[in-house]
DNA sequence: AATCGTATGATTGTATACAATAATACGCGA
DNA sequence: TCGCGTATTATTGTATACAATCATACGATT
């Protein structure tokens, strides 16, 4: 059956345009390009071995994702993520993950519950062993399950977008050794609340989980990753 | 002439692509195309007197706006919004508009405050006169100001996206005569809270404002607009 | 030397040609 | 008639050619 569900993650990875899009997004998020650096159609095209057409279409998409800014007849410029952006994203995520957890108490399936439990169990193991990469992977997966469990394509999509967006930061953060286990404990709390169908508690814990993640990130020196001058975080 | 250029400083209106984009968006929002109707590149191009290239680029943008869904090698289809989607959007917007109002108590500028006051004053006038179109336009603008006043590009962008998304529904709803004035009263309350720097109250009122809007919409028969079967609200 | 205008090159915007893929129609054999 | 493979057509995907616009350099004029 055809899936008409509203979904921005439709940019397929197999067309040239899709490949260009994903490649550029990754490169921008990974810091390959400086902020405000100009992206030239021919240069990108040559680098990836494609013509300007798919590059241009990818540009249009990146623009709407907010990763580049296109000035007509002039060029495309990387916008990047400021510290302020990261802060804002976590602020938003905090609310939405809370909503998501709340909804999950009602809609989560048995299978999802089981996978969550397994996830947490495994995470404990890897935390003991110091397997940071696996820990990060499990953390990603935990949140994905949660997103899928809220029974809302809209919310799921939003959260996945944000999740994706701060992936690089999160990776760094979880790698700070002591956050990993702490994060996993918080996951466990959320899971317990969901199992108990305690919507309010689940919301609250998921809420707090995001705030903690952000605060830990700040402590570990967010500024080193996103050394940015012209963010608009300064109040009047 | 109805001008929906609430946002998207990025999509210029003077290039062919920009014109195609705006035209198609308006047509979709105004219901010129059926849900799930296929948009063909050549047909659109001929209708607007342009080649496929700008049409394709406009498609890519419309896809990310969530107005159409592109299936690779197949076609572009107008996205349907299900009742469930609308409900979810309002649920999310309720939270985020609350956050936005809360932040605005701290960051709003004098100019924005003044425009809000003018907006509300004007809305009263048009409400008395029964000018529903102007009322809808002012309502749009009120929320846009609020979005811009929160000092968060991220949040602003998200809210504008959602706002855009439910424009069709909102238009219909505000036209239900009695919601317009009520909505404006709620705007006034939010503005007062912001002026008083009462963050908690502003959040609460903005929150409630969304819930009220949604409930009114349901009463007025959302199902008539979005009579949709294949929504993804699966029973647990 | 400073300023303006113009020529030149670089870059994006658009149109079109061609390739790849998917949808449809048709005919053949059982 | 039904099933299946193939030919045909329609439609999208990509590459390229050409037009429009912008940036730069340079020289003429003051």
User: pLDDT of B14-27, one tens digit each?
Assistant: 788 889 999 998 88
* Cβ contact A122:B190 at 8 Å: no
Query: Does the residue A232 lie in any domain?
Result: no
Dihedral-angle region of residue A80 (phi above 0 means left; psi in -120 to 50 means alpha; beta otherwise): left
CA A102 to chain centre: 20
> Other C-beta atoms within 10 Å of A163: how many?
17
C-alpha to C-alpha distance for A101 and A106, rounded to whole angstroms: 9
Q: Cβ(B31)–Cβ(B24) under 8 Å? A: no
Non-local (6+) Cβ contacts of A36 within 8 A are: A77, A78, A79, A80
Residues B129 and B87 in one domain: yes
Same domain? A188 vs A204:
yes
Q: A64 and A114 share a domain?
A: no
Determine the Cα angle at B121 with ends B117 and B126, to 5°. 145
Q: B38 and B127: one domain?
A: no
Q: Which of residues 71 through 110 in chain A touch B, CB cutoff 8 A?
A: 72, 84-85, 88-89, 91-92, 95-96, 99, 106-109
Assess whether B21 and B93 both reside in one domain: no
Using CA atoms, how far residue A13 sits from A16, A17, B8, in Å, is 8, 8, 26
Check residue A90 and give its pLDDT.
Answer: 95
Query: What is the rounded CA–CA span in Å between residue B198 and residue B196?
Result: 5
Q: Which of B56, B78, B100 is the last residue of a domain?
A: B78
pLDDT digits (tens, 9 = 90+) for A20-59: 998 998 888 777 888 889 999 999 999 999 999 999 989 9
**Residue A5 domain-assigned (yes or no):** no
pLDDT confidence of residue B4: 24
- Answer whether B61 sits within 8 Å of A64, measured CB to CB: yes
User: B165 and B112 in one domain?
Assistant: yes
Looking at residue A65, what is its pLDDT?
Answer: 77
Q: Cα distance from A57 to chain B (closest Cα, Å)?
A: 6
The CATH number of the domain holding residue A104 is: 1.20.120.530
Point out the domain boundary residue: A78, A93, A121: A78
A231 part of a folded domain: no
The residue segments making up the domain with residue A161 are 83-225
pLDDT tens-place string over residues A155-200: 998 998 888 777 756 656 656 667 788 899 999 999 999 999 999 9
Is residue A6 domain-resident? no
Are A155 and A210 in a shared domain?
A: yes
How many other CB atoms are there within 10 angstroms of residue A11's CB atom?
22
The answer to whether residues B95 and B180 belong to one domain is yes
CATH of the domain at A21: 1.10.10.10
- Residue B30: its pLDDT value, please? 79
pLDDT of the residue at A222: 63
Do A92 and A141 share a domain, yes or no? yes
Span B146-190, pLDDT tens digits:
999 999 989 998 999 888 878 767 666 656 667 888 899 999 999
Number of domains in chain B: 2
Q: Assess whether A147 and A197 both reside in one domain.
A: yes
Which pair of tokens denotes residue B81?
Answer: 């919004």
Judge residue B176's burial from the number of C-beta atoms within 10 Å of its C-beta, 0-12 exposed, 13-18 middle, 19 or more buried: middle
Quick one: pLDDT at residue A233? 39
* Domain membership flag for residue A7: no
Tell me, what's the pLDDT at B194? 98
Residue B190's alpha-carbon distances to B125, B154, B201, B206, in angstroms, are: 19, 21, 8, 6
Residue B210 included in any domain? yes
- State the average pLDDT over residues B76-92: 90
Asked whether the beta carbons of A59 and A70 are under 8 A apart, the reply is yes
**How many Cα atoms sit within 13 Å of B41 on the Cβ side?**
15
Asked if residue B6 belongs to a domain, the reply is: no
Last residue of a domain, one of A37, A61, A78: A78
CB contact under 8 A, A92 and B80: no
pLDDT of B64 above 70: yes
**Closest approach of chain B CAs to the CA of A107, in angstroms?**
5
Task: Name every chain A residue with its beta carbon within 8 A of the beta carbon of B15.
Answer: 72
Claim to verify: residue A74 and residue A96 sit in the same structural domain: no
| Backbone φ and ψ of B5, nearest 5° | -75, 50
Question: Are B22 and B49 members of one domain?
Answer: yes
Inside any domain, residue B54:
yes
């Amino acid at each position: 059956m055809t899936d008409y569900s509203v979904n921005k993650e439709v940019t397929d990875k197999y067309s040239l345009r899709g490949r260009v899009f994903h490649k550029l997004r990754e490169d921008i998020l990974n810091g390959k390009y400086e902020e405000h650096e100009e992206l030239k159609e021919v240069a990108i095209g040559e680098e990836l071995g494609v013509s300007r057409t798919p590059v241009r279409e990818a540009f249009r998409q990146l623009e709407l994702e907010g990763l580049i800014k296109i000035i007509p007849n002039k060029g495309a410029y990387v916008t990047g993520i400021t510290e302020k952006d990261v802060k804002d994203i976590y602020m938003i995520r905090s609310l939405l993950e809370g909503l998501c957890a709340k909804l999950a108490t009602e809609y989560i399936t048995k299978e999802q519950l089981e996978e969550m439990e397994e996830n947490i169990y495994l995470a404990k193991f890897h935390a003991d062993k110091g397997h940071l990469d696996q820990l990060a992977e499990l953390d990603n997966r935990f949140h994905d399950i949660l997103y899928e469990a809220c029974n809302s394509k809209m919310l799921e999509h939003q959260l996945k977008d944000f999740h994706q967006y701060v992936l690089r930061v999160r990776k760094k953060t979880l790698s700070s050794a002591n956050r990993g286990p702490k994060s996993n404990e918080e996951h466990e709390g959320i899971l317990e609340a969901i199992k108990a169908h305690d919507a309010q508690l689940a919301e609250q814990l998921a809420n707090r989980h995001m705030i903690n993640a952000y605060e830990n990130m700040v402590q570990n020196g967010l500024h080193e990753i996103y050394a940015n001058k012209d963010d608009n975080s300064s109040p009047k």
